[in-house]
A and B are shown apart, each in its own frame.
Chain A
Amino acid sequence: MSTQVPEQQAEETEAEQSAQAHEQTPQQKRQDKKRERQEDAAKRLQEEEQRREMDADDTYHLKVFRFDPEVAAKQEPRFDDFYVPFEKGMTVLDALMYARDHYDSSLTFRHSCRQAVCGSDALFVNGSQRLGCQTQLSDLEEPVRIEPLPHQDVVKDLVVDMEHFYEQMHSVQPYFDPEETPEGEQRQSKENHEKIKMSTRCIWCAACMSSCNIAAGDNEYLGPAAINKAYRFAMDEREGENRMQERMEIVEQNHGVWRCQTQFSCTNVCPKDIPLTEHIQELKREAVKRNLKFW
């Protein structure tokens, strides 16, 4: 299903009502805190002033995509408004957690580590794929529009079905599989480690896949993340030449590297700054070099 629903001016949702009812408490608390700070902070006046400026617009306005196939009121996709009290350093994930814990406990999204390593919370924020935990609210225009990753089926609210993504990842034999294993430590040159380093940073968040036009149109396309995974092993000198050849055959399949049209959208959204497009290009060059038949 598409997440691009027309915005509805629906009657006030329960969430909105309770949002307003609760608004006083955290605000009140924050103002108290502020007062305390002012009292003891002659020497930090300057800093304090900056802080107050940042706090000026007390709350952040979120527009969050809602959908639940089971719940009558949510079967028709809609956007709910949440007003979240802002604190310095607050991320999109912090704001979602605040909204869930204070206004609507049914608000559903994946999250775990809060530090951009578990890859659970890739979302579509103000029109681009980003990790909720890695995105500062203060960098965003209001209202902050938060949607599930496009081009994936929505399970509920911001949760998408990851099955297809995992299948593509698994389809490239994503495991180290050397021709020979020595008795003791296997050596790897610093240069070779450096070569694969960026590719090993992938956290499987699926932001790249979601941003890719080709993947959107061709469900069988391996996609940037899986090709990057293949690159990680193909370029690892420890596996050996024959294994590399087999890996090249995997990425050269019908729905492999040649589908990529070098639009760089995957590279642009990757939260770990992996040069995905370059990796795909390098595999193409390697394939040409090997003079393999391709389609």
Chain B
Amino acid sequence: MMIQIFGIPIQALLGQLLIGLINGSFYAILSLGLAIIFGLLNIINFTHGAQYMLGAFAAWMSLTYLGANYWVGLILAPLAVGAFGILMERFMLRRLYHLDHLYGLLLTFGLALILEGVFRQLYGVSGLSYTIPEIFQGGVNLKFMFLPYYRAWVIVASLSVCFATWYVIERTKLGAYLRAATEKPELLQAFGVNVPLMITLTFGYGVALAGFAGVLAAPIYQVTPVMGSNLIIVVFAVVVIGGMGSILGSIVTGIALGLIEGLTKVFYPEASGLVVFVIMALVLLLRPAGLFGREK
């Protein structure tokens, strides 16, 4: 017997919701990284999408060239991407802090183009596939739907990383320093905290989050040089909708929008690519600062 909701079989509905939840967890990780970076550096990191792509490629390369397994890739790739971010901050972004924030956006946009171009030159646009690690092959039949193990793992892993980040920032001493630096960096510096180092490491962490998302995404989507650039535009819209004032807000908005996108795919597939932007327009009309935002 098929259970139906509004004429849609429940299997199809739940299947799309699952995909929505996965997309939503990627939105959550990426917008979380953007929000952390924005809080401390006041720049929007346009390279975020390219760094997500970099993470996926790093995982693919470590598997293909070094024969490293998934778990090694899951740890090494974000570290490598984070290290790249640290270099970027130290040698480029740091020179722009005294200028209008738009220059940070332009610089990171240029870097995103370079990264995308280099990988397109090396690997073409057709995409490489990364096989799902052995222990996650197959899935479980939950009676009402089929749940592939790897997809379950992606949701669990990304949500744990998101909430761990939230916990560190909102509930620990390190996080208290971080929040203080977001409010008044000069004052914190006067108390003897090395704020520039903190900024560098924070940027590195935000970027590493993008790399981590990239590794998680590698077995689900094709690994291609352009995988990040289309995603990042949606994530920007997520950030506008949520507002960058709150860590938990970024996570919740990301997941919610992923789910809404999944639902749209069931009921009105043509609009599924647009729904996030429509919501963005509505939020701008009703609550311009974003759902969790405050005017800066």
Genuine A/B complex: no
